Amino acid sequence: MSSEPTFTRRDVEFPGAGDVALRGWYYLSAASSGPPVPGVVLAHGFSAVKEMALDRFAEVFAAAGLAVLVYDHRNLGASDGEPRQLIDPWAQIRDYRRALDWLGARPEVDGDRLAVWGSSFSGGEVLVIGATDPRVRAVVAQAPFVGNPELDDGDGAQFAAIRAAALGDVPGPGEELVGPLPVVAADPATPAMLPQPESWEWFASMGNQAPSWKNEVTLLLDGAGAPFEPALAAAHLEVTPLLMIVATEDRVADTELALAAFERAGEPKRLEMVVGDHFAVYHGRGFEQASGVARDFLVDVLETER
């Protein structure tokens, strides 16, 4: 006998930075007809699109009573933006903030209880958002790219530049590009952005589920004249609760670098270790662990914010 659904999902479109149309899914608990509920914004990692397991995370969070907005980054998947397959971390960060605008304005959502969740490349982006956007009440950084956690920002100038870039108080993007290159390649001798065999295996395995994903990307390195160094931002997470989920054998977003960035973050914070490589969090026991601990963390933090 099938059980009644515990949430609804509908397609949505909302304006990102510069009014670029971003598209995704909006999940709402079937029991959310009472007071406004907390909300969380999800976006994927390097080049990936929402069909690559983000629906599974959203379902776990929505079933726990959270309003969940999942969307494709600009230039990727269902979202607009040109040139296609260009990854600009600062534009993606500004779009996260527009997603918070949209979610917080929903009448069924409590705009004072919002969180951000990111994985891999966007796991670094949510560290920046949590450190620069006071609306964010909780941050979940899963298998995050953190940059260089040993950078010294003695006079605070680098974080000031990061804050300005995140808030959009800077000129347009720069021009230092890497690519276009394949994201992954079956042959280790073929140049690719993510050359690890486990990267090829995961992206290839997700192909049937995500036909909009393209195995090509260009990365903008100097997008707002600010260093994309999420570990520097993590050091400024002094009030916002942080959950960092780290894979024990991560060669894509290095385990030791992620742990060093976690050490730089202020309290309150929590660390969860998942056994396996970078992609262990997306399937099997790793997914059950990562999604479950994130759900419990978000519910606990956002409910206590009431």
**Quick check: helix, strand or coil at residue 303?**
helix
Number of C-alpha atoms within 13 angstroms, CB side, residue 304?
Answer: 9
* Pairwise CA distance, residues 258 & 127, whole Å: 11
> DSSP characters for 238-277?
SSS-EEEEEETT-TTTTHHHHHHHHHHSPSSEEEEEESSS
Q: Reduced to 3 states, what is the DSSP secondary structure of residue 285?
A: helix
Element (H, E) at 231: helix 230-234
Compute how many other C-beta atoms are within 10 angstroms of the C-beta atom of residue 196: 17
- Residue 153 has a pLDDT of 86
Within 13 Å, how many C-alpha atoms sit on residue 185's CB side? 12
pLDDT at 88 over 90: yes
How far is Cα 205 from Cα 182, in angstroms, rounded to an integer?
16
Does residue 81 surpass a pLDDT of 80? Answer: yes
More confident position, 226 or 65:
65
- Kindly report, residue by residue over 156-191, the tens digit of the pLDDT: 899 999 999 999 865 555 567 888 999 999 998 999
pLDDT at site 98: 97
Query: Domain residues of the chain, as ranges?
Result: 7-170+225-304
| Residue 37: strand, helix, or coil | strand
Which pTM was predicted? 0.95
Which residues in 80-116 are b (16+ Cβ under 10 Å) and which e?
A: bbeeebbbbbbbbbbbbbbbbebbbebeebbbebbbb
**Average of per-residue pLDDT values in the chain:** 93
List the one residue out of 88, 70, 116, 77 whose CA is nearest residue 18.
88
List pLDDT tens digits, range 249-260. 999 999 999 999
Using 50, 70 and 90 to split pLDDT, how confident is the model at 221? confident
How far, in Å, CA of 282 to CA of 142, rounded? 10
Greater pLDDT, 227 or 68:
68
**Given this model, what pLDDT does residue 306 score?**
56
Reported as a single tens digit per residue, the pLDDT across 1-30 is 446 668 999 999 999 999 999 999 999 987
Class level of CATH domain 7-170+225-304 = alpha beta
